[in-house]
């Protein structure tokens, strides 16, 4: 998100509890209350021990996949654009998408939560409720965490999952494969475009910016169908398929006609004088999945959008209709 932090965060009620008055240990107790049913329901592994000790303990029924992602206030979310519940859901969703992209079943998350002492306690509790809600949606559980003080809200989530089969990596896309996607492309970027102009509609893209609709289960379905390579689209389709192309040392060509343009994207593109295909090819934060398959293996729910053409002795690259894409390709967190 290419925006600066906005200071106003908090409550209009000066008597409201803050993290400074609630304290670390009471906060943790409130966040982890009544977790047992969720821990018991977590799929893919058995949670032997949840929050409250030095570490969580899982008995996994296969190899364990882990991934970490950080979300920073003013960089990945703004408290005046997103409710705390949405930030909690998003923090979990972006991470569980990484597990899906490996073909893994999520078991749970560890959450590091850093915030100023003057943050209303309500915000932290709503954030935690969002974490637990998204976990439940995905069949995972809150396994543990750490809370500490810092100048802005910073969230680090580690997702843990188990692999029913082989890990689907980025480096095995094969010439002759088709490339297919599952999930939304360009919606979150469209939402960011309208929020950045001070609008709150189309509502669907604004909501997509706040919480990505991760296609839970589809990464596992792709792995079971025999996907050769897979990735989570976090920085934009061209940028992330670029990782697959380089790791696999192949040329991937996308067919621009293969992408349906949903109405909300068409509306945003018209209103902002932009091209919907640019949103689709370069917009990040939707956390769709992209994978390379043998043509006959593409599972239901996936859309073929391109092909793996041939090995590339150089470094691997992605083209659109046979040509280099002009313009922005994706997002580098330190460059602007």
Instruction: Compute the least distance from the CB of residue 278 to a second copy, in Å.
Output: 21
**Is there a binding annotation on residue 232?**
yes
111 binds a second copy (CB under 8 A): yes
25 binds a second copy (CB under 8 A): yes
Given a contact cutoff of 8 angstroms between Cβ atoms, the answer to whether 135 and 30 are in contact is no
In a 10 Å sphere around its CB, with 0-12 CB exposed, 13-18 middle and 19+ buried, how is residue 109 labelled? buried
Using rule CB under 8 A, residue 79 touches a second copy: no
Range in contact with a second copy (rule: CB under 8 A) among 159-167, 207-215, 263-271, 294-302 = 159-167
Under the criterion CB under 8 A, does residue 20 sit at the interface with a second copy?
A: yes
Q: Are 268 and 190 in contact (CB under 8 A)?
A: yes
Q: Check the annotation: does 287 bind a ligand.
A: no
188 binds a second copy (CB under 8 A): no
**Residue 66 binding a second copy, by CB under 8 A:** yes
Q: Is 332 annotated as a binding residue?
A: no
Residues numbered 207 to 266 that lie near a second copy (CB under 8 A) are 230-232, 247
CA distances from residue 102 to 96, 97, 174 in whole angstroms, order as listed: 10, 9, 17
Q: Which of residues 29-48 bind a second copy (CB under 8 A)?
A: 48
With respect to a second copy, which residue has the nearer C-beta, 144 or 276?
144
List the one residue from 85, 91, 93, 110 that touches a second copy (CB under 8 A). 110
13 binds a second copy (CB under 8 A): no
Q: Is 331 annotated as a binding residue?
A: yes
The region of 51-59, 173-181, 183-191, 303-311 touching a second copy under the rule CB under 8 A is 51-59
Which residues have C-beta within 8 Å of that of residue 5, sequence separation ≥ 6?
73, 74, 75, 78, 152
If you write DSSP's letter for every residue of 102-144 in order, what string do you get? HTPEEEEEEEEEEE-TTSBHHHHHHHHHHHHHHHHHHT-EEEE
Among 76, 307, 317, 329, binds a second copy (CB under 8 A): 76
Comparing CB distances to a second copy, the nearer of 60 and 261 is 60
Single out the residue of 212, 208, 240 nearest to residue 96, CA to CA: 212
User: Tokens 């969703």 appear where?
Assistant: 93
Of 3, 147, 274, 303, which lies in the binding site for a second copy, with binding defined by CB under 8 A?
Answer: 147
Conformation bin of residue 74: beta by default, left when phi > 0, alpha when psi is -120 to 50 = left
Query: Does 86 carry a binding-site annotation?
Result: no
> Which residues 6+ apart lie within 8 Å of 30 measured at CB?
22, 121, 125, 128
> Is residue 164 near a second copy by the rule CB under 8 A?
no
**62-to-92, 189, 265 alpha-carbon distances in Å:** 22, 36, 40
Q: Contacting a second copy (CB under 8 A), which of 88, 139, 144, 284?
A: 144
Contacts with 14 (C-beta within 8 Å, 6 or more apart), sequence order: none
What residues numbered 167-186 form the site for a second copy, per CB under 8 A?
167, 169-171
Q: Does 92 interact with a second copy (rule: CB under 8 A)?
A: no
Cβ pair 113, 147 in contact under 8 A: yes
Q: Is 53 exposed, middle or buried (0-12, 13-18, 19+ CB in 10 A)?
A: exposed
Q: Of the ranges 18-26, 197-205, 269-277, 302-310, which one interacts with a second copy (CB under 8 A)?
A: 18-26
Q: How far apart are CA 78 and CA 290, in angstroms?
A: 28
23 near a second copy, rule: CB under 8 A: yes
Say whether residue 65 binds a second copy (CB under 8 A).
Answer: yes
Q: Binding to a second copy by residue 24, rule CB under 8 A?
A: yes
Restricted to residues 283-312, the positions that interact with a second copy (CB under 8 A) are: none
Annotated binding site for Mg(2+): 54, 67, 69, 98, 146, 232, 235
């Amino acid at each position: 998100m290419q925006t600066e932090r906005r200071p106003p965060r908090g409550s209009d009620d000066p008597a409201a509890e803050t993290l400074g008055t609630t304290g670390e240990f009471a906060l943790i107790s409130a966040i982890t209350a009544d977790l047992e049913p969720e821990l018991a329901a977590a799929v893919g592994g058995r949670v032997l021990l949840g929050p409250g000790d030095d570490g969580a303990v899982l008995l996994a029924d296969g190899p364990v996949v882990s991934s970490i992602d950080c979300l920073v206030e003013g960089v990945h979310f703004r408290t005046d654009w997103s409710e705390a519940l949405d930030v909690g859901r998003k923090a979990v969703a972006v991470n569980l998408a990484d597990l899906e992209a490996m073909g893994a079943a999520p078991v749970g998350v560890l959450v590091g939560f850093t915030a100023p002492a003057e943050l209303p306690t309500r915000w932290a509790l709503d954030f935690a409720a969002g974490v637990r809600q998204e976990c439940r949606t995905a069949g995972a559980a809150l396994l543990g965490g750490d809370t500490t003080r810092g100048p802005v809200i910073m969230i680090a989530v580690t997702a843990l999952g188990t692999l029913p089969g082989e890990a689907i990596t980025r480096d095995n896309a094969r010439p002759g494969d088709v490339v297919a996607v599952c999930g939304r492309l360009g919606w979150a970027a469209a939402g960011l475009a309208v929020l950045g102009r001070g609008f709150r509609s189309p509502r669907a893209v604004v909501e997509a910016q706040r919480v990505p609709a991760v296609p839970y289960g589809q990464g596992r379905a792709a792995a079971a169908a025999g996907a050769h390579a897979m990735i989570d689209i976090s920085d934009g389709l061209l940028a992330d398929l670029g990782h697959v192309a380089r790791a696999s040392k192949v040329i991937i060509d996308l067919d621009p006609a293969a992408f349906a343009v949903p109405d909300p994207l068409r509306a945003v593109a018209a209103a902002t004088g932009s091209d919907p295909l640019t949103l689709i090819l370069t917009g990040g934060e939707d956390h769709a999945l992209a994978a390379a398959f043998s043509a006959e293996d593409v599972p239901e729910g996936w859309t073929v959008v391109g092909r793996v053409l041939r090995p590339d002795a150089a470094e691997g690259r992605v083209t659109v209709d046979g040509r280099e894409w002009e313009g922005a390709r994706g997002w580098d967190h330190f460059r602007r």
